[in-house]
A and B are shown apart, each in its own frame.
Chain A
């Protein structure tokens, strides 16, 4: 205990703090890009899979293939796949960019399934009524299905976001200096693990707690709008 307090002033040096916060920023960026772009792409894939007719068939098939593959392989494998694919293609991009691309891929694959489940939860009768009234697919989705689907989509989406922040630690395997990695570095520098990992813990919390609150806020805003009284 004594040594931990003894180490504290040295641990809190400007250089160390900058290093740890930089790592936290990396974690934050990785998570946000995975969540935001993953959700946008995932949403697009879910909408694409609602299309009918031969025109969209190739895209639809590609979407199904993409989702079924990347939903099934571990994040770490995706990271290395993207990494080696970039090498094979002679793409000169940073490991951080590789990690961002991977998080987007995984996020899109998982969240497209979440969104699709949300669409499926809306009674088919409402969609039939819309079809019988000549609403287009886009109108049916955006006017009728999606407003009701948020209630089903949001909780698992934010659960995924939160687990995702933790999974972003795997990017350290590629040498991306994110929070967990920075804790290890501090440990290797001879600081007590309590300090390094304690700092990581606080920062992970600082990133995920606001996100969880935001999720609850959205659920209340979007999830229950149909019960709004006149």
Chain B
């Protein structure tokens, strides 16, 4: 059985349909990448999964349990197992990096403070920010904030990690730092859904790639299928464009 199952998911902002009949599955330990042009609904799909964008119809199953997004307790249980890194990082501006990372484990999970602090420090070291523990988010570069956001998500020990554009707006050197962190996670068997424009990286780490356009999934398959032999014209178009940039 699929670990995460999405079936005929539909969502809209007002009149504008942002997710149209999305269906896909993610197995445990799999890394599924979402690619597609800007505005195609990649972020919206991740937001819908964590219950931040109201779902109009369709079904999401996690480990066999159907998630009812209208049931607060169900959403709470779901969020207990997913963690998301936002495209804009969304760090808490009123606290330093360390506190950003240890706050939820401490206050939400209720784990002991010392343990949270130790783990947060270790995670921040792992993403190369061991020297920045007591710096505030607005004193960090975009790439550093991104990695704090990654550490913050990991501190919750999620079963599935949702990563939105973890490499956008980073210079090439920083891209590599962030991608290294993700490669490490992949090698540890973390289940992930990754939105990325970094095609070389997508090809390298993904188990499968899902290509979106205008709110729908156009094609889904292994990286080789999508990049070397896309079946749909829309996918061919997009892949052609990004590969010959």
Contact = CB atoms under 8 A, between A and B. Distances in A.
- Are A and B genuine complex partners? yes
Interface of A: 53, 123, 125-126, 128-135, 139, 143-144, 147-148, 225-228, 230
B76 interface: yes
B83 interface: yes
A143 B96 contact: no
A217 B136 CA distance: 23
Contacts of A226: 93-95, 136, 138
The interface residues of chain B, by DSSP majority, are classed as loop
12 contacts: A126-B92, A126-B93, A129-B90, A129-B92, A131-B52, A133-B104, A134-B104, A135-B104, A144-B94, A147-B94, A226-B93, A230-B96
B84 A132 contact: yes
B134 interface: yes
Contacts of A130: 92
A206 to B, nearest CB: 36
Nearest to B85: A129
B50 A134 contact: no
Contacts of A148: 93-94
A153 to B, nearest CB: 14
Contacts, number: 60
B90 A133 contact: no
B200 interface: no
A134 B108 contact: yes
A158 B91 CA distance: 30
Interface in B45-82: 50-52, 72, 76, 79-80, 82
Interface string B2-17: 0000000000000000
A117 B90 CA distance: 20
Contacts of B156: 133
B90 A135 contact: no
Given A132-B50, A230-B135, A126 B90 contact: yes
A135 B104 CA distance: 7
Contacts of B104: 133-135
Contacts of B93: 123, 126, 148, 226
Interface residues of B, number: 28
Given A133-B79, A133-B108, A139-B107, A225 B94 contact: yes
Contact of A125 (B72, B80, B82, B88): B88
Q: Which of B51, B94, B108, B136 has the most CB of A within 10 A?
A: B94
Interface string B158-171: 00000000000000
A130 B86 CA distance: 12
Nearest to A122: B93
B34 interface: no
B32 interface: no
Q: Which of B90, B103, B138 has the most CB of A within 10 A?
A: B90
A127 to B, nearest CB: 9
Given A133-B79, A134-B104, A134-B108, 18 more contacts: A53-B72, A123-B93, A125-B86, A125-B88, A125-B90, A129-B91, A129-B92, A130-B92, A132-B82, A133-B104, A133-B156, A134-B76, A135-B108, A139-B107, A144-B92, A147-B94, A226-B93, A230-B134
A133 B90 CA distance: 12
B108 A139 contact: yes
Contacts of A131: 52
A133 B83 contact: yes
Nearest to B77: A134
Contact of A134 (B80, B91, B92, B134): B80
A230 B133 CA distance: 9
Nearest to A148: B94
B128 to A, nearest CB: 18
Contact of B79 (A53, A134, A143): A134
B21 to A, nearest CB: 24
Contacts of A143: 92, 103, 107
A133 B83 CA distance: 7
A143 B106 CA distance: 12
A128 B94 contact: no
A125 B80 CA distance: 19
